[in-house]
Structure 1
Amino acid sequence: MSNSLENFSKPAQSGDTYVLAPLPYADSALEPVISAHTLSFHYGKHHKAYVDNLNKLVAGTPFAGQSLEQIIAETSGKADKAGIFNNAAQIWNHMFYWHSLSPNGGGEPPSVLKQKIEAAFGSVDNCKQELANAAVTQFGSGWAWLAQDGDKLVITKTTNADSPLTGNLRPLLTVDVWEHAYYLDYQNRRPDYVKAVLDKLINWEFAAANLVG
């Protein structure tokens, strides 16, 4: 499949049942920044649990078979649908996170993305620093995002399962700062995990593919 945001509006499904989409690389492909041990738990336990939970929650409801983006849009901010929202959004967020990383990541962004980054932040290094700051200062569980707001790029952070999708922003890439994303490898050293991801794994090509306009 092509490497862009549109892949995630239609999750892997078998009829009305959501299935755990495969990782875009082997469990060990992100080592030494993220170990195969961490990835096996993060993907095989946490991500899978969201898929299993969503299937249970939407079975026999009008949400069954809808795209994740449809479910997120229709359940966001509704207290009585919080369980459905949280699990659907976490499936989407994790799928997006896996593609925001690459064994050959880091380095320089493609020129079209680099130009927008420089226009918004002054330099790629400034962008990385602001993204790292968002990731490190996110209190508790959540996500740091590079997103597109109309013609400009912005950095934002969200709590728990929230994402820029609920704020009319277009996500370009994300860094997961839930503890299960890094604790087995880095313990409480979230800044070290974030720096390593941004320096060595961040998938600028994926972000560039997500640009519009």
Structure 2
Amino acid sequence: MRIIGGKYKGRRLYSMPKRKDTKLLRPTTDRVKESVFSILDEYLEGTKFLDLFAGTGNVGIEALSRGAKKVVFVESDRRFCDLIKKNLKSLGISPDRYRIICDDYVKVLKKLGNSGEKFDFIYADPPYEKGYYTKIVNLVKNLDLLDENGLLMLEEPKKNPFLPEDNRWIIERRHYGTTTLTFLNFSQSNMEENNV
């Protein structure tokens, strides 16, 4: 895995050695990452970014490389939390620009919401087979975790895409091989613009 743009462009990231007891990791591909960040690139400077189901930290580190002010990494597996820390240290990224939370995503989102934290961008790449999408969308929306113009981005399987409660939340859907990227915004202005 490598960083594809920004300050740390071309730098390689550590990944988990393949072992029988290591959970299957499906990192965000360079093609998907390139697409996401070509869309976000001019808007990232000075923003707050949440990398949910962070794995190696691949997506959040790309955001830091491209100018995000702060990234919160959320990952439940302690081994991957340690790997995120290792990747950040290897790049010399200042600890005041990131936070790693090693806990269940539901608990973390509730804590962030209850403390009034808001994000410009939230990227969620949960295990495809777990069916977490509805829960993620409802938590982000109901806990008001996005700034008014903030985006929630879901990486999901193309063959079984998430169907939101309200289609007006969807800004755009893009397909890359077997992957679909869904961009959602919950602001009232978006709802009014997309109202048919």
TM-score (norm 1): 0.27
The structure whose RCO (Cα within 8 Å, separation 6+) is larger is 1
TM-score (norm 2): 0.29
Answer 1 or 2: which has greater helix percent.
1
